[in-house]
Structure 1
Amino acid sequence: MVAELEKSAIDKRITRKVLKNSGLSPKDALLDAKYFDYDKEARFVREACDALGDITFAARAGSTWRVSNSLTGYISKYSKDLRAAIENTARFHDIIDPAVQYSLRISSNSASFEVVWKDPSYAKFHRHTEFLLFGVLSRMRAITQTDFYPLEIRFDHEVKKSAEKFQKLAGFPVVFGTESLEIILPLATLDLPIPTYDLRLREHLTEYGGRLLEERGEGKQSLRSRTEGLLTKALPARILSADEIAASLGMSPRTFARRLKEERLTFRTIVDELRFDLAKTFIKDDMALSEIAFALGYADQAAFSTAFKRWSGLAPRDYSEAH
């Protein structure tokens, strides 16, 4: 991603600025870096698209992702065919990715590589979602050494007038505003052989992955993350109350408020910051202000505009023109 940004940016200072705004250092961006903060990576992708003024940059960068040095990357590389690669790595993906899980669903005429958020709070990072799905497709093509075309890629967010740009970039149907995140594949692609198949290495890696799964504990999301996830799931049109969130988390309202206070947070702060974050993304996705107001649970466009100006110091239309 960093390399693609450096190729695309006319001013080389842009990369340093994007890294800084994302809370990343140049060391974090090294190709051999073994660990990364998922939230910071998602913010880096968003900042890069904004800095370039290119809504399709993340998808384009994902399309260049050919090599993975992770455990699941090697398991897929040594699997027999694409179907085996997807099924083998899906089991161990939890080890390397704190935010998503995926599965393979097969029907009579197609197959679906479906992505589900383990942490729904990350669904707000639309550009990173595009990077992920186009990256997955690129990896599938790399391990099979075949530039096949899926039937569709589906996203559950909207980009309105920019949809044609993604279609042109991909060369196949890219659909927005669907109910789920998925890559729809022709059934024949599941049988594509993987030239680097090695049964011995694959079995060794899956045994190792099994031990890692047994040794690791269940990842625990922060209270803020779980709250944002529940709020995001309830959208559009409705913002859950603090009492409803507390009940969903198995807490009393008083315990919920106390736990937030321990993290130096309030429920209102989380709601406002989530709404502001989503509003900025929706504006860049070319959504009408009336649609944004509805999606974020405001009574009308005027109420949304008042809130947005309080957050940013700019009216939504002024912010749209500036970005």
Structure 2
Amino acid sequence: MTSTRRGRPPISNRVIRVGGAIALPAILRGRGIDADALITQVGLPVAVFDHPDNVIPFAKLGELTHLAAERTGLSDIGLRACMQTGLVMLGTVGYLVGNSATVGAGLASLQSYLHLHDEGAAPYFHREGSLAVLGYEVLEPDLVGAEQIVFGALAIAANLLREICGVGFALLEVNFAYRAPSDTSAFSAHFAAPVRFDADRNAVVFDAAILGRPIAGANALFHDFLTSQVREKERLGEGRVARDRIQRVMRTLLATACISQDEVARAFGMNRRTFARRLQENGTTFRELLDAVRFDAARGLLRGSVVSLEDVANRLGYADATAFARAFRRWSGASPAVWRRKNVALI
């Protein structure tokens, strides 16, 4: 069985700014829950929610939202916590998006730099014919509370698009790779579009014609300044997150069906041969990293939803379900169907 965890940074090392979920303590108190006690129970300081720029381990946010859903009985609490969150709460990255020349340019910046706000997931943005897709992939498939984080992330994505697209914008569809909560009314109300659960991705879908729309009030000088700021942050963190960044880029390309060694190398400004040599110097190969990324994505889909094996195979770039099943058995030692029965996540 191939090892697919080699070289991966521990999930505990990935952090996220609390800005997106800043409303969570207030929701807990509104339901009669001692928010301070719950925050302390998961090992976080109570004061961490006092300012949106504070950071916490990504895994702790998942644990906290999972417990919050259990204690309140709100299986959609991740959505509720982020329904009022917009660009401002994304910090520098949010301001960068809002000051981009066009909607498409803003979403490209979001894809490139959201990891400075959220290290535990990979956003992606691409076109599918006349449609545009903005998605969000949690990097750790076994994360407790992952579905709550995704519910909140797509709530923020909808708000972000409404802000930068302006009057008249509407989503066409929303997809979740998780089972539907018992009550989906808040999803329908917030997204104002058809919401599909048990899908093969977590994404919002809208009209691609909007991508060329100028963002009202965007300041080109401020945008250039912010771009220099985020690039400097990336430069300072390059040594610490190099391998994690490669896997994040690969997860994004996998989601957009553009993954190949040439494409990944191009994303880092290298040719295929130079990129392969760099990976070898770090004790890994493209195939090993691709297996790890595919295995993570597969486990997330199998655990969280009842999406068909054919759709999972297609999502991961396999010719058919049989080819995917062979690869999955090599990674895990079990068929996808058997693994799903043993690891099904109940919401």
TM range (shorter): 0.5 to 0.7
User: Any residues of structure 2 matched to 1:7-86 within 5 Å, and which?
Assistant: 7=27, 9-10=29-30, 13-66=33-86, 67-86=88-107
| Corresponding position of 2:299 | 232
Instruction: Look at both structures and tell me which one has the larger radius of gyration over its CA atoms.
Output: 1
In 2, Cα distance between equivalents of 1:122 and 1:104? 23
Q: Where does residue 105 of structure 1 map in the other structure?
A: 126
Provide the residue aligned with 1:210 in structure 2: 231
Unaligned runs of 5+ in 2: 1-20, 245-291, 310-324
In terms of mean alpha carbon deviation, does 34-43 or 8-17 score higher?
Answer: 8-17
Distance 1:230-1:86 versus aligned 2 partners, 3 A rule: closer
TM-score by length of 1: 0.65
1:148-297 alignment to 2 at 5 Å? 148-159=169-180, 161-163=182-184, 166-215=187-236, 216-217=238-239, 218=241, 229=296, 232-233=299-300, 235=302, 296-297=340-341
Q: What is the aligned-residue identity percentage?
A: 14
Q: Which residue of 1 aligns with 2:278?
A: none
Distance 1:233 1:144, change over 3 A: closer
CA displacement at 1:231 relative to structure 2:
8.2
Number of the residue aligned with 1:266: none
* TM-aligned CA deviation for residue 151 of structure 1: 0.6
CA distance in 2 between counterparts of 1:231 and 1:103 reads 17
- Structure 1 residues 71-92: Cα deviation after superposition (integer angstroms, max 9, x where no partner): 2112112112221110123112
Q: Using a 3 Å threshold, how does the CA distance of structure 1 residues 36 and 234 change in structure 2: closer, same or farther?
A: closer
User: In 2, distance between residues paired with 1:44 and 1:134?
Assistant: 18
Judge which range, 113-122 or 147-156, deviates more: 113-122
Higher relative contact order (CA 8 A, sep 6+): 2
Separation in structure 2 between the aligned mates of residue 180 and residue 34 of structure 1, nearest angstrom: 29
> How far is the alpha carbon of 1:245 from its aligned partner?
5.3
Inter-CA distance 10–246: structure 2 relative to 1 (3 Å threshold) = closer
Quote the offset at 1:175 in angstroms: 0.7
2: distance between equivalents of 1:35 and 1:183? 26
Alignment of 1:290-309 (within 5 A): 296-298=340-342
Partner residue, 2:320: none
Q: Secondary structure at the match of 2:133?
A: strand
CA distance in 2, matches of 1:42, 1:35: 14
Compute the displacement of 1:130 (Å).
0.5
Q: Distance in 1 between matches of 2:164 and 2:186?
A: 27
Moved more, 114-123 or 69-78: 114-123
Q: C-alpha deviations, 1:1-31, integer Å up to 9, x for none?
A: 3435425644655212321233222111112
Contact 2:175/2:201 (CA < 8 Å) preserved in 1? yes
Q: CA deviation at 1:244?
A: 5.3
In the alignment, residue 42 of structure 1 is paired with which amino acid? G
Write out per-residue CA displacement over residues 20-46 of structure 1, whole angstroms, 9 at most, x where no aligned residue.
233222111112443221111122222
C-alpha separation between the residues in 2 aligned to 1:49 and 1:129?
14
Instruction: State how far apart, in whole Å, the 2-side matches of 1:29 and 1:16 are.
Output: 10
1:130-188 deviation digits (Å, cap 9, x = unpaired) = 01111121122234454732111101111265345532453211111111111101124
| Secondary structure of 2:125's aligned partner | strand
Structure 1 residues 47 and 219, CA, compared in 2 at 3 Å: closer, same or farther? farther
Q: Deviations over 1:81-140 (max 9, x none)?
A: 221110123112233322222222113321111223333334862111101111121122
Q: Rate the CA distance shift 1:109–1:56 in 2: closer, same or farther, 3 A.
A: same
Equivalent residue letter for 1:21: Q
Residue 78 to residue 160, structure 1, CA distance change in 2 (3 Å): closer
Q: In 2, distance between residues paired with 1:49 and 1:147?
A: 33
**8 Å Cα contact 1:144/1:192 also seen in 2:** yes
- 1:51 Cα deviation from its structure 2 partner: 2.1
8 Å CA contact retained: 1:99, 1:122: no
Partner SS for 2:56: coil
Work out whether residues 79 and 148 of structure 2, in 8 Å CA contact, stay in contact via their aligned partners in 1: yes
Pick closer, same or farther for the CA change 1:120–1:219 going to 2, 3 Å. farther
Q: Is the alpha carbon distance of 1:231 and 1:179 closer, same or farther for their aligned partners in structure 2, counting shifts above 3 Å?
A: closer
